[in-house]
Structure formats: structure tokens, C-alpha cells
Amino acid sequence: MAVFEHTYGPFEGQLTPQWSRFLVIPRHAYRIVFKSKLFTGLFVLSFLCPLVMAVLIYLHHNINALTLLEIGPTNLFPINNVFFRIFTTIQSSVAFVIAVLIGPALVSRDLTNNALPLYLCRPVSRFEYLLGKASVLIVLLSAITWVPGLLLFVFQSYLEGFGWLRYNLWLANAIFFSCFLWIVLLTLLSLALSAWIKWRIAASGALFASFIVPAAVTTMITALFRTPWSQVFNPSMLMQVVTDHLFRLDNSLNLESFVILPAWAGWFGLIVLFAFCIWMLTRKVRAYEVVS
């Protein structure tokens, strides 16, 4: 039958808004992620620390509970910047484990199965594709880091009063930005490594090694030569320096003999690392690949 004899017509249904089309990608990704019992169990356990921290905050303002437990107020851990710094450290460690489990598979599967042309031939740009993949990690890691952290801050402010809130409002900024920078770092590294290493297990190993190996090597160089500048190649130390700066702490590691980077170097190193990961993604995430 000739083409002109067919009766074609435009789609008359409701179109999806252009700005929200990238949300299709994380919606289907969440279904795959939560099918894993290991991930689901780890995700549930990640809320144990916020629960314990909330109990500690509550005990500070409940004399009856302290009397029943025979605990003096002075024996409780004070609710200050160190308290919330410990919270971010624990939750950031859990976020790292979750990123290692699910991050490297986000792009590597599409590259392995040549699925990128199927994505990009639709009304989805490269930026929207990467944003959809990144939002998988950003939403999941936010749910266990800065969201419960700010809820703890609000809980403490409610029990302590407006005066404490006004005096410690900077803590809310420290909680949010320290956690969000860590999430961005994990997300960009996960996507970049999964784009360049198509084997998921190898990409997970590379993401794990990208934090462990530089930490061991640069720590040894710092101890031998008494200079902190090798730490600019250590993502963990960059985040440590930036987070301590946000929480107004000089050295939360309490290592008197260890030379720490200045705060500006930590911020600059993170920005360079972010830019390098974005460059890696733009080089690899394309609708087609030319093999020479």
C-alpha cells in the first residue's frame, strides 16, 4: 500500500511537560534498585543513626527519662557542632557504601547494551539523561544525609527554643552544604567511572579504590615529607577539610602530628575534581561512539 493511502494523524493525547521528561529515568531505576534485598536492608539500617541521635536530643530535655535511666545531664554528649559533625560523618560513610552498590551500574548498563542512542533519539538531551541518572543517587543519598540532619536540627531547635535556633542557624547551612557536596562528589565520580568502565563490578571497585588508594598514598607522603599538598589528590581529605571549615572545626580528626590542608585548598580541589568528572562524562556519554 502506498504511503499516501495511509491515514496518519498527530498524537492527540496530553503531552508530558518538557521539564519533567527526565524523571522517567529515575522512576524506572528505583524499581530496579529496591528489588535488591541487600540494598533495601542497608537503606533501612541507614536511618538507625538519626534515630539514636534524636533519642539523645530528647534525653537532654527530659528530666524524667534521665532520672529513670540514672543518667546525669553532664554525662550526655552536648548538642553542638561536634554532635552534628559526627552525624554527617556516619551518614556520609553509609552514603558511600550505597553509592558503591548502585552508582556504577547507572550508565555502564546503557553503554554495554548500546542503549544510549535509544535514549537520545527521543526528546531527551544529554544533559537531561545525565540529570535523570544523577537524580537517582541524589534523591536516595539526600534521604539519609542532609534531610534527617536538618530534621534533627529542627527537633533540637524546637526543644531548646528560638534563642538556640538564632545563635546556631549556621549549623543548618553546615549540615546541608557538607552533605550535599559529598553527594555531588559521589554522584559525579560514580557516573564518570561507570561511563568509562562498562563492567559494573570493575566500576564499583574503581569507585571504592578512588577513595581508599589516594588516602593511603597521600597520608604516607604527608607523614614522610611533612607537607599537606599531596592531600589535594585525596577526595576524602578534600571533603574532610571543607566539612571542618563549614562546621568551624580546626581538625576533627584530632591528629596533632598530621598536617592539614588550608580550607581554600580543599574548596579549590573539590571544584577541580567536579570539573574533571563533568569533562569525563561529556567525553563518553554520546549517542554514538567512533572506534578507530
Give the start-to-end residue ranges of the domains of the chain. Answer: 22-284
State the pTM of this model: 0.87
Span 85-106, pLDDT tens digits = 999 999 999 999 999 988 888 8
- Under the banding of pLDDT at 50, 70 and 90, the label for residue 282 is confident
* Average pLDDT estimate for 75-90: 88
Burial category of 13 from C-beta neighbours within 10 Å (exposed 0-12, middle 13-18, buried 19 and up): exposed
Answer yes or no: are the C-beta atoms of 249 and 81 closer than 8 Å: yes
The pLDDT assigned to 89 comes to 93
At 104 the three-state DSSP class reads coil
At 124 the three-state DSSP class reads coil
- The rounded radius of gyration (Å) of the Cα atoms in the chain is 23
Q: Say which range, 31-35, 44-48, 113-117, has the weakest mean pLDDT.
A: 113-117
Answer yes or no: are the C-beta atoms of 267 and 242 closer than 8 Å: yes
Q: How many alpha carbons lie under 13 Å from residue 84 in its C-beta half-sphere?
A: 33
Q: What is the DSSP string of 185-210?
A: HHHHHHHHHHHH--SHHHHHHHHHHH
CA distance 138 to 58: 29
The pLDDT assigned to 289 comes to 54
Residue 89 CB neighbours (<10 A): 14
- Under the banding of pLDDT at 50, 70 and 90, the label for residue 69 is low
- Under the banding of pLDDT at 50, 70 and 90, the label for residue 184 is very high
* Average pLDDT estimate for 155-160: 92
